[in-house]
A and B are shown apart, each in its own frame.
Chain A
Amino acid sequence: MQPGEENEPASATWHRDANPAYRLAFGVGLLVFAGSFLAGLGEAIRVLGAPPVAVDATALGRALVAQGDYSRAFGEFRLAGMIDPVGYPSPPELAYPAPSHPNAAGLLAQAGRAARQRPGDAAAHLQLGRALMLTGAYADSVRSLERALDLDPELPRLHASLGRAQLLAGSALPAERAFREALTRESRQPALHDDLGFALYQLGRLEEAAEAFERGRELREKQTRAPGAGS
């Protein structure tokens, strides 16, 4: 400010003196700010004025369980306040799904015969254990699968089946060990990560459970997107 100009209005000289580049920058800046404020005002009215959408997180969680998307179901149940470290154990909707088969009795009879005929065959005991699981005889299933484990610990799908039988029998800790053992052999099986998630959930280790469900979901998505998937 020059001497003698003290009493001029604040911005009286800026148009006259300002560098054209500054004037352009100022004009563009003003326009962008004014546009942003107008657009923001419209968006704020639209967003804040919209009626709240009532989402039944519990129902959504159940639907996701039915679809086998345990990761998102877990999130929805959490949102609904049904899962929290204090309120654990809950909710029944996230109970481990028991396997079933329309001809479970026939499969059991068949597997029983095979196991009696070949008592030293690990595969026969595996089939018996899985058939017992289908009929709900979880303790017997665990015994049969442990017998198979003694005979051949490297038998494919054995650790996963043992883990499932143990989890259904209510022994989450050995089930977790069995699922982790199975994952060392088949780390890219989404269902195995879900199984581990259920074991951890039953143990009350909720964050780890959420991570396991999420890993299962990621693998499932990756496999769906992979070329040739679903064909």
Chain B
Amino acid sequence: MSAPATDASPTAPGDLFPVGRVFVNAPFDYLVIGGGLSLLTFAALLGSGGLIQPSFATLSIPFLALALNSAHFAASTVRLYTKPGSFSDWPFLTMGLPLVTLAVLGVAILWPEAIGTNLSALYLTWSPFHYAAQAFGLACMYHYRSGGTLSVTERQLLYATCLLPFLYSFLFAQGAGLAWFLPDSWLAPAPSLAHAFPALRLSFAALVFTAPVALATLRVVKGEQGLPLISWLVIVANGVWWVVFTYFEAFVWATIFHGLQYLAIVMIFHVRDHSAQANNHRAPRVLALRFYGASLVLGFLLFNIWPFAYLLAGFGLAESMLLCAAVINIHHFIVDRYIWRLRKDPNNQVAMRR
């Protein structure tokens, strides 16, 4: 998700931390799109003994993964093919990319050790970046909706702040990011660096949460309208997802809440796009349900059924499942780079509309 840059312009001092103009209502936007619900859930789970435990919440993970995570991956595809004008705007993305995706999966599954492992590492590395980009897009969108502006420099600073959780996971995650390129033993010749690594990790983690505070303070000092609280919540929630929890916990829980966040915003855009069409005769609720239903069915087919076709073709179920998930992720990341553009795109009108 990306946002347009605006020229630097003197902004009259407004609220330092406005609630912001929400899409549905404040509780819904703050809890679902802002990520507040994830923070409350994490607090409740930690209070009851841990994030990954055989409790009700953990047992419900497979259901949540299908209803939210799988559906959110499919939602970008559903959005791509239902977004007005997508076929003419992005002919390769809509018509060529599916075949390319199939070809990449075919190659990866034929050579799982040489290609497949790298494909998995690519999506595991890309995933935190995708989350960071979504946090940046949402933060900007709420700011612009709320009448705020950002100079090019401020926008770059905000982008860098949003990318910090990605950089953190890139540097310190196991099996992805830097670990993808460097063997486990790379620190062995430099024991002093190995000893400094935990402190470096802690410092970086602190930076993830102090950078937004510094950025907010900068705007206060300059007397400019602050980013709405929901923008900060989105940024901090993403930081919590990737920094406070282990990579595995983040992968289990963050994907679920990221999926929820994504589904909410994509359905808002879909409903607004289609409600504005002259030939639409469906109520917004029906449009939303149809969109979610299509995403849920496609998500089920992609994640739960598609790998069995490769099993039938003689490949192992494990590599089929893992590599199907990898190409679905990568396809989703690529599609998202296009369908959320606000600049010179009707998305901008939807984002700014009340």
What distance in Å separates the Cβ of A2 from its nearest Cβ neighbour in chain B? Answer: 9
**Interface hit among A38-46, A95-103, A121-129, A133-141:** A38-46
Residue from B85, B88, B94, B95 having most chain A Cβ neighbours under 10 A: B95
Residue interface bits A29-59, CB-to-B below 8 A is 1, else 0:
1101101110111111001000000000000
Query: From residue 82 to 105 of chain B, which have CB atoms closer than 8 A to chain A?
Result: 82-89, 91-92, 94-96, 98-99, 102
The answer for the CA separation of A42 and B306 in the assembled complex, in Å, is: 11
Q: Is the CB of B308 within 8 A of A9?
A: no
B346 and A10 form a contact (CB under 8 A): no
A18, A29, A39: the one contacting B102 at CB < 8 Å is A29
Contact A10 B81 (CB under 8 A): yes
Report how far A26 CA is from B99 CA in the complex, Å.
7
Least Cβ distance of B329 to chain A in Å?
A: 17
1/0 per residue, CB under 8 A from B, across A6-23: the answer is 111111011001110011
Do B346 and A1 touch across chains, with their CB atoms under 8 A apart? yes
B contact residues around A150 at 8 Å (CB): none
A122→B37 CA distance, assembly (Å): 80
Contacts of A14 in B (CB 8 A): 87-88, 94-95
Give chain A's interface secondary structure class: helix
Q: Across the interface, do A13 and B87 meet the contact criterion of CB distance under 8 Å?
A: yes
In the complex, whether B278 has a CB less than 8 A from a CB of chain A is yes
Please, how many angstroms separate the alpha-carbon atoms of A37 and B301 in the complex? 6
B306 contacts A40, C-beta separation under 8 Å: yes
Is A1 in contact with B89, judged by CB distance below 8 angstroms? yes
Residues of A within 8 A of B277 (CB): 6-9
Judged by a CB distance under 8 angstroms, whether A25 is at the interface is yes
Decide if B99 touches A43 in the complex (CB within 8 Å): no
Q: Which residues of B contact A40 (CB under 8 A)?
A: 301, 305-312
Q: Is the CB of A43 within 8 A of B311?
A: yes
Is B203 in the interface zone, CB < 8 Å from A?
no
Give the size category of A's interface with B. 20 to 34
In the bound complex, residues from chain A placing their C-beta under 8 Å from that of B304 are 44
Give min CB distance, B195 to chain A, whole Å: 29
Q: Is B60 an interface residue (CB 8 A)?
A: no
Number of A-B contacts (CB under 8 A): 98
Known contacts A9-B279, A44-B304, A26 near B95 by CB under 8 Å = yes
Could you say which residues of chain A place their CB within 8 Å of the CB of B312?
A: 39-40, 42-43
Contacts of A1 in B (CB 8 A): 84-85, 88-89, 346
Is A28 engaged at the interface, CB distance under 8 Å to the other chain?
A: yes
Cβ contact of A22, chosen from B82, B84, B85, B96, cutoff 8 A? B96
Please name all residues of chain B whose beta carbon is closer than 8 Å to the beta carbon of A28 when the two chains form the complex: 99
**Inter-subunit contact B85/A5 (CB<8 Å):** yes
B311 contacts A10, C-beta separation under 8 Å: no
- If A1-B84, A10-B82, A33-B102 touch, does A26 touch B96 (CB 8 Å cutoff)? yes
User: Which chain B residues (275-296) contact chain A, with CB distance < 8 Å?
Assistant: 276-279
Docked complex Cα distance between A39 and B305 (Å): 9
- Residues from chain A with a CB closer than 8 A to the CB of B91 are 18-19, 22
A residues contacting B by CB (< 8 A) are 1, 5-11, 13-14, 17-19, 22-23, 25-26, 28-30, 32-33, 35-37, 39-44, 47
Q: Add 6 more A-B contacts to A1-B85, A6-B346 (CB < 8 A).
A: A7-B276, A29-B102, A33-B102, A35-B309, A36-B306, A39-B309
Q: 13 A-B Cβ contacts within 8 A?
A: A1-B89, A8-B84, A8-B277, A10-B82, A10-B86, A18-B91, A18-B95, A25-B96, A26-B94, A29-B99, A32-B102, A33-B102, A43-B311
**Chain B: residues with CB nearer than 8 A to chain A?**
81-89, 91-92, 94-96, 98-99, 102, 276-279, 301, 304-312, 346
The 10 closest A-B pairs by CB, nearest first: A14-B87, A1-B85, A26-B95, A29-B98, A40-B309, A40-B308, A22-B95, A43-B308, A36-B309, A43-B312
